[in-house]
Amino acid sequence: MKAGIPIGLGYFAVALALGVAAKKAGLSPFQATLTSFLINASAGEYIGFTLIAAGASYLEVFLMEAIANARYMLMSAALSQKLKPGVGTVQRMLLGYCITDENFGVSIALDERLDPFYTYGVASVAIPGWSLGTLCGAMLGAVLPVSLLSALGVSLYGMFISVFIPESRKNKIVAGLVAISFALSYAVSAIPWFDGISDGVKIILLTVVISLAAALIFPVKEEKKDVA
């Protein structure tokens, strides 16, 4: 829970702008808050609210949400390899609900095997912060100045950087991969050839390519298990 406090505070600040977007899309504060509590995905919710405001069909919303949130499947796959032995299906499903970019970051960075209750503790603070921020944004968004909402939105980037910087300082390989990720991410956003690909798909492709290359070039040795 202690690890989730800064994440929850960052989520609260960022979700204020999300609440404003929900209100503009015609959602009530309750509907906006419930959406944030169930989805826990900033990009996915922004896309959803934008499509709702545009009167998109259910199928269009479903397809766009699937693309925008597909990266969480990759995070779930990675986190499943770090779990301690004996974690059952129900706990894994609950863990999947708790995964956000930042919750995943602090969970995967642990040196030891992951006990799912660690991530539950992080999420128990982070997710209410996200939901409460959405509620406040939906209720007070019309009063808050646009410049303040924009400034608060930047805090999410600073919070996410703080997740991977400590590991990058300890491991030169991770630091190099982070630098490569930055460079390639900028490249695919600047090169016109990639304009026809959505941001969600770009993230997925970069994640798969970079992580696959890193796994092949710098494999992590599995711990040897004692045979009774």
Tell me the two tokens of residue 192: 């016109």
Nearest to 43 by CA among 211, 172, 174, 198: 198
Residues 89 and 144 occupy one common structural domain: yes
Residues 41 and 116 occupy one common structural domain: yes
Give the residue numbers spanning the domain of 179. 171-219
- In this prediction, the residues of the chain whose per-residue pLDDT falls under 70 are 141-142, 144, 146, 149-160, 162-163, 200, 222-228
Query: Is 158 part of any domain?
Result: no
Q: Indicate the residue among 152, 181, 205 that finishes a domain.
A: 152
Query: Is 160 part of any domain?
Result: no
pLDDT at position 225 is 46
DSSP for 194-226, written as a single string = GTTS-HHHHHHHHHHHHHHHHHHHSPPPPPPPP
Query: Is 162 part of any domain?
Result: no
Residues 133 and 71 occupy one common structural domain: yes
pLDDT at position 41 is 83
Query: Is 139 part of any domain?
Result: yes
Query: Is 226 part of any domain?
Result: no
Query: Is 50 part of any domain?
Result: yes
Report field, pTM of the whole predicted structure over 0.85: no
Q: Indicate the residue among 119, 152, 185 that finishes a domain.
A: 152
For residue range 19-38, what is the model confidence (pLDDT) as tens digits?
888 888 889 999 999 999 99
Q: Indicate the residue among 152, 185, 203 that finishes a domain.
A: 152
Nearest to 155 by CA among 1, 40, 16, 22: 16
Residues 87 and 200 occupy one common structural domain: no
25 phi, psi to nearest 5 deg: -80, -5
pLDDT at position 195 is 81
Domain count for the chain, please give it: 2
Residues 191 and 116 occupy one common structural domain: no
